[in-house]
Amino acid sequence: MGATATVLLWASALLAPAFGVLVFTMNSMARVTFALLACLVCVGGIVTVLGLSYLGVVIVLMMVMEMVIMAVFMIAYMMNPAGLMPMSMLHNRRGALVISGSLFAALVAGIFLVPWPERGGARPRNTTFQIGAALMREQMLTMITLGFVLLATMVGATVLATRRGRYDRFGDELDQRPARDPAGGGVGR
Amino acid sequence: MVEAGAWWTVLAAPAILFGLAGLAVVGDAALDARGAGRPLTPGTAVRPLLAVSRALLAQPRRLPAPDRLLWRAGVITVPVAAVLSTLVIPFGGHVVADLSVGVVWFNAMEALTWAGLWLAGWGPNAAFSLIGGYRFLAQGLAYELPLMFALISAATGARSLRVTDIAAAQHGLWYAVWMPFALLVHLAAVLAFSFLGPFAYPAGRDIAGGVLGETSGADRLLLQAGRWLWLAAGAAMAVPLFLGGGAGPGLPAWAWSLVKTLLVLGLLVWVSRRLPVIRADRYVELAWVVLLPPAVLQVLVPALVDLNL
């Protein structure tokens, strides 16, 4: 690892927990969400510097989109109107402290107790191919199963969450066109 | 993993991007003048660039209880992400950082615009501005998936995420020829993430300028610059992905890159003025129901060709 990479690694490693602390000390939902995003971008930086550039950049890509969408929903579902009042991310303080403390202790203990393997062979030049082969060769069945489980979960959750069914949209005889939708953007109008 | 370009490329890439964005603004102003029947003089074309100095001198507007930190962060993110996206775009034989995951890098920088524009809408503590931010997210959900499949089409064809590899893999036959749909989706997405023309919905007139409504001075300048910088960056990215990069007869590689980029940029500026603004809810329907299935099929084409080889 070169000097630049070491500096980047340490900078990301120090900034990530700093942003993590900000998540629990700031009092605005928007700021908290974007502190969490900054924290996760630092994690992406760490993964990139450690040689998994594809995973690192994808973490940044996915987390930016996910956190922005999450900001929308977190602010929408807040108890005070539109998230305009000061809030706190701390709930169930004693229980949370016990859980997070023991989890942290277990992870740190893991670092020292796990017998880390020695590197076998040279480091590949392009790790993206290795990731693809690992996921799509040996673990192909796992990935296909996971894909269907995720899709089924999404469809199921949407079906459970929506109150309106096809009879509301297309009428009792299912012959009403265009569909009666409360808002635009629906399919089949 | 990373092949660093010469030191001067770090300065040249942003300079070229700013030049292209400036040309796009000038071209837009010239078309404006022609459309209004005014005589086309150098003055009318350069007039929008004079707004730069005016914006820098303007007194900033004060608002009650803005979230200054987030507002500033969002306003700066949009143009900075556009400039960072050009790190992986080859221009002739030169590229600033030839990342092995260049296509993903471009996509990640483009996604940063989501965060930037939402923050720019949230920051001023004003309703119309916030609506503009939400509108961009809705638009983002619509254009992002087809765009990702368009980028994946080119990457699948070259079997590489490195942008220079993709440009080199098109020797003889441009991807634009056998992946025309991916190119079309990419160009539409470029207009969408620079929220210009038919995708100016987040900055719409019906909500008094939306994300741009409450900004003034340098903030407004940065957001407006971000729009045109993204247009230029997206046009420049289309060249290595679909138009063979710097390949071409006679001229040197950098000249071909420049000519192709200018043509794509000119096309985008012209098209953006010809189409009406489309609402995000309508574009979501078009993007997911009409554009997405052919975009998936488009990825299948290079995948099948790759399997045959």
Minimal C-alpha gap between B247 and chain A (Å): 26
Cβ contact A65–B284 (<8 Å) = no
Q: Is residue A113 part of a domain?
A: no
Residue B70 at interface with chain A, using a CB cutoff of 8 Å:
yes
Q: Is residue A74 part of a domain?
A: yes
Q: Using N-to-C axis directions, what is the helix angle for B217-242 and B42-57, rounded to 10°?
A: 130
Ranked by mean pLDDT, which of A21-25, A100-104, B247-251 comes out on top?
Answer: A100-104
Choose one of A64, A90, A116: the last residue of a domain: A90
Choose one of A72, A90, A108: the last residue of a domain: A90
Q: Does the pTM of the predicted model rise above 0.95?
A: no
Residue B307 at interface with chain A, using a CB cutoff of 8 Å:
no
pLDDT of amino acid A84:
63
From chain B, pick out residues whose CB is under 8 angstroms from the CB of A61.
Answer: 104, 107-108, 111
Does A28 share its domain with A81?
A: yes
How large is the average pLDDT for residues B169-178? Answer: 85
Least confident of A37-41, B27-31, B148-152: B27-31
Task: Tell me the per-residue pLDDT of B82-109, one tens digit each, with 9 for 90 and over.
Answer: 999 999 998 877 888 888 889 999 999 9
Q: Nearest Cβ partner of B137 from A34, A53, A68?
A: A68
Cβ contact A57–B144 (<8 Å) = no
The ipTM estimated for the assembled molecules is 0.86
Burial of B214 (0-12, 13-18, 19+ CB in 10 A): buried
Q: Nearest Cβ partner of A71 from B118, B282, B289?
A: B118
Q: Are A39 and A23 in contact (CB under 8 A)?
A: yes
pLDDT band at residue A101 under the 50/70/90 scheme: very high
Does A82 share its domain with A143?
A: no
Q: Are A48 and A5 in contact (CB under 8 A)?
A: no
How many structural domains compose chain A? Answer: 2
Cβ contact A65–B111 (<8 Å) = yes
How large is the average pLDDT for residues A86-110? Answer: 91
Share the mean pLDDT of chain A: 87
Number of cross-chain residue pairs from A and B with Cβ atoms under 8 Å apart: 75
pLDDT of amino acid B168:
87
> What is the span of the domain harbouring residue B17?
3-308
Residue A69 at interface with chain B, using a CB cutoff of 8 Å:
yes
Question: Per the structure block, which two tokens stand in for B158?
Answer: 């070259």
How large is the average pLDDT for residues B201-211? Answer: 87
pLDDT band at residue A185 under the 50/70/90 scheme: low
Residue A79 at interface with chain B, using a CB cutoff of 8 Å:
no
pLDDT band at residue B1 under the 50/70/90 scheme: very low
pLDDT at B196 over 70: yes
Minimal C-alpha gap between B13 and chain A (Å): 21
User: What values do phi and psi take at A25, rounded to 5?
Assistant: -110, -20
pLDDT band at residue B309 under the 50/70/90 scheme: low
Choose one of A74, A90, A106: the last residue of a domain: A90
> What is the span of the domain harbouring residue A178?
135-189
pLDDT band at residue A80 under the 50/70/90 scheme: low
From chain B, pick out residues whose CB is under 8 angstroms from the CB of A43.
Answer: none
Least confident of B83-87, B108-112, B245-249, B254-258: B245-249
Cβ contact B115–A51 (<8 Å) = no
pLDDT band at residue B32 under the 50/70/90 scheme: confident
Q: Are B68 and A21 in contact (CB under 8 A)?
A: no
Share the mean pLDDT of chain B: 88
pLDDT at A79 over 80: no
Q: Is residue A20 part of a domain?
A: yes
pLDDT of amino acid A187:
58
Task: Tell me the per-residue pLDDT of B118-144, one tens digit each, with 9 for 90 and over.
Answer: 999 998 888 899 999 999 999 999 999
Comparison of pLDDT for B4 and B299, the residue scoring more:
B299
pLDDT band at residue A119 under the 50/70/90 scheme: confident
pLDDT band at residue A83 under the 50/70/90 scheme: low
pLDDT band at residue B191 under the 50/70/90 scheme: very high
From chain B, pick out residues whose CB is under 8 angstroms from the CB of A189.
Answer: 285
Q: Whole-angstrom distance between the N-terminal and C-terminal Cα of chain A?
A: 57
Give the percent of chain B with pLDDT over 70.
98
From chain B, pick out residues whose CB is under 8 angstroms from the CB of A187.
Answer: 285, 288-289
Q: Which of A141, A138, A142 is nearest to A130 (CA)?
A: A138
From chain A, pick out residues whose CB is under 8 angstroms from the CB of B279.
Answer: 184
Residue B161 at interface with chain A, using a CB cutoff of 8 Å:
yes
Q: Are B231 and B199 in contact (CB under 8 A)?
A: no
pLDDT band at residue A1 under the 50/70/90 scheme: low
pLDDT of amino acid A64:
93
Q: Is residue A123 part of a domain?
A: no
Q: Which of B267, B272, B131 is nearest to B200 (CA)?
A: B272
From chain B, pick out residues whose CB is under 8 angstroms from the CB of A34.
Answer: 70, 73, 115, 119
Q: Is residue A48 part of a domain?
A: yes
pLDDT band at residue B13 under the 50/70/90 scheme: confident
A 43-62 residues inside an 8 A Cβ radius of B: 51, 53-54, 57-58, 60-61
How many structural domains compose chain B? Answer: 1
Q: Using N-to-C axis directions, what is the helix angle for B9-35 and B217-242, rounded to 10°?
A: 100
Cβ contact A126–B100 (<8 Å) = yes
